[in-house]
Structure 1
Amino acid sequence: MTEFATMLAVTTIAGALTGVGAVPVFLRARVSHRSYDAALGLAAGIMIAASVFGLILPGMEQGTLAGVMTGVFLGGFVLLGGNRAIPHLHARYVGWRREGGSLAATDDDPAIASRARRALLIGAAIVLHNAPEGLAMGVAFASGLEDVAMLLAVVIGLQNVPDGFAFAVPVGETGISNVRVLVYTTLSGLVPQVAAAVFGFALVSVATGIFPLAAGFAAGAMMAVVFREMIPSSHGHGYADASTAAFLVGFVLLVIVDELLVI
């Protein structure tokens, strides 16, 4: 199997793991605010640890501190810029078609419309931060850093599960079918990660030594997502302690995975 084929297979699996997060909703299990907030906290902990141990430190080993930190700032501010654009992009959304064709418009069913908007906003955020992660994996594979790339694939795959859960809950509440919930959730992680990985792989052919900048970019984008979106979203229902505990579990889990892969 060629390096490109390996990259394509690994990033596809990592991206598709987003769909696993839809399983509780797919089964129509009751999801409490505590569980939802804890899932966000878990994903946030994994993402912060991945930013440091899977991206920033390997980037500094391959390049300079200045190069990686430049990437961190670029990634963070690009994410913040995209975040400002997303609400305006989706503010014109007015409804969602339930299974069977009935239209849940804002005037007819404001609760469903609100959930649909929330699902789109969360999905857009997932797409926004999955792209730089995929970019980092593609650049790592193309640069011959297979160990780094595999670590990124593992931690990003782990992080994609609670990401998918956070996306699937509001999507499932709109009343669409189980199959569509699963498909939409899977695609929210699969498409941007694979597309960005292919772009990153191709980018190395015209710009060698770009991994430190790409790694910093992905780390900056991930940290911006955590502090701008995930932590505030997980602290609005009275379960901040559960979310914080899950954050610590996610952080420690990633560190353990990192050490096991190194050994």
Structure 2
Amino acid sequence: MTDLTGVVAISGIAGVATGIGALPVFVRARVTHRVYDAALGLAAGLMVAASVFGLILPGMEEGTLAAVMAGVLVGGGGLLVGNYAIPHLHAQYRAWLPEGGASADDAESLNPTSLVDSARETSFRKALLIGGAITLHNAPEGLAIGVAFASGLEEVALLLAVVIGLQNVPDGFAFAVPMAETGMSNLRVVWYTMLSGVVPQVVASAFGFLLVSVATGLFPVASGFAAGAMLAVVFRELIPSSHGHGHADAATAAFLVGFVLLVVVDAVIVV
């Protein structure tokens, strides 16, 4: 069975993938909306399948339906509460909307037309607001990894880590672009972007691992909680963001590919 050190290392690697999304700042490469929306759709499909087949079904095998579903509702509800508690911004249907204490001025400032210094300050603020959403959503993903490892489901945990790592790449890109516009060095942009994924995922994975390891029988509720939070991220963030630039069909097709891919991989691992 993987120990705490291994859990921290694996969740940390998944978090480092957030930094990969920042690498285009070195060449100022432009990623098309179609590619970006398809990447979000792929991540959404992977996360939905991972939530169902990697967390909910194993949780029901270890405990009762009521325990798992209670965890799903609490986890999803907790994510929604966090959305309102932490100021950040979301891309939805061709517009950026303020959430969790962010103001309408924050959304307006996404396309600054003032002086360069003002534009840089605005970009930095935008990066922080986007980073707030990324940090909030990385925590339940790390929790899922820790819970699975603590329950002896190492294949499931590794699969979750891969899925979460893939999903972190477009998140990192969304965080890095406005940060790079502030004039910050490329290395610092990559470093801060990576930290936004590593820190919350490592802390949450360690917490989930220790919690389930100490409290036997908690896996059904904990797996439901992690699954509910991940599903809330998918339907509250990934899907709306992937439909904001006129490429809904590409995002939907990628979603289906991601879902099928994880189900097939999961079936192969189980066999």
Normalization by structure 2: what TM-score? 0.82
Secondary structure, in 3 states, of the residue corresponding to 2:209? Answer: helix
1:200 to 171, 194, 208: 208
CA contact (8 A) 1:139 1:210 kept: no
The 1-side partners of 2:245 and 2:121 are apart by: 20
Match of 2:178, as an amino acid? Answer: P
Secondary structure, in 3 states, of the residue corresponding to 2:86? Answer: helix
Is residue 2:270 matched to residue 1:262? Answer: yes
Segment drifting more, 71-80 vs 55-64: 55-64
Secondary structure, in 3 states, of the residue corresponding to 1:237? Answer: coil
Is residue 2:226 matched to residue 1:228? Answer: no
Displacement of 1:86 after TM fit?
A: 2.5
The 2-side partners of 1:213 and 1:152 are apart by: 18
CA contact (8 A) 1:46 1:247 kept: yes
**Deviations 1:48-80 (Å, cap 9, x if unpaired)?**
121112211121122111111111111111111
2:97 corresponds to which residue? none
Is residue 2:33 matched to residue 1:11? Answer: no
The 2-side partners of 1:2 and 1:51 are apart by: 21
1:155 to 160, 163, 169: 163
Displacement of 1:170 after TM fit?
A: 3.3
Map 1:27-106 → 2, pairs under 5 A:
27-87=27-87, 88-91=100-103
2:21 corresponds to which residue? 21
Displacement of 1:184 after TM fit?
A: 1.8
Q: Report how many residues are paired.
A: 253
Normalization by structure 1: what TM-score? 0.84
2:96 corresponds to which residue? none
Match of 1:224, as an amino acid? Answer: A
1:98 corresponds to which residue? none
Is residue 2:140 matched to residue 1:137? Answer: no
CA contact (8 A) 2:11 2:145 kept: yes
**Deviations 1:241-262 (Å, cap 9, x if unpaired)?**
2222222222223223323332
List runs of 5+ in structure 2 lacking aligned partners.
88-99, 107-111
Is residue 2:261 matched to residue 1:253? Answer: yes
The 1-side partners of 2:257 and 2:5 are apart by: 33
Secondary structure, in 3 states, of the residue corresponding to 1:216? Answer: helix
RMSD between aligned residues: 2.7
CA contact (8 A) 1:14 1:160 kept: yes
Displacement of 1:180 after TM fit?
A: 1.9
Displacement of 1:2 after TM fit?
A: 6.2
Is residue 2:199 matched to residue 1:191? Answer: yes
1:211 to 219, 222, 229: 219
The 2-side partners of 1:7 and 1:62 are apart by: 21
The 2-side partners of 1:205 and 1:249 are apart by: 35
Secondary structure, in 3 states, of the residue corresponding to 2:21? Answer: helix
1:182 corresponds to which residue? 190
Secondary structure, in 3 states, of the residue corresponding to 1:236? Answer: coil
CA contact (8 A) 2:43 2:163 kept: no
Secondary structure, in 3 states, of the residue corresponding to 2:245? Answer: coil
Secondary structure, in 3 states, of the residue corresponding to 1:126? Answer: helix
List runs of 5+ in structure 1 lacking aligned partners.
95-104
Segment drifting more, 6-15 vs 135-144: 135-144
Query: Cα–Cα, structure 1 residues 108 and 117, in superposed 2: closer, same or farther, change >3 Å?
Result: same
Query: Cα–Cα, structure 1 residues 21 and 85, in superposed 2: closer, same or farther, change >3 Å?
Result: same
Displacement of 1:8 after TM fit?
A: 1.8
The 1-side partners of 2:84 and 2:179 are apart by: 22
The 2-side partners of 1:188 and 1:143 are apart by: 27
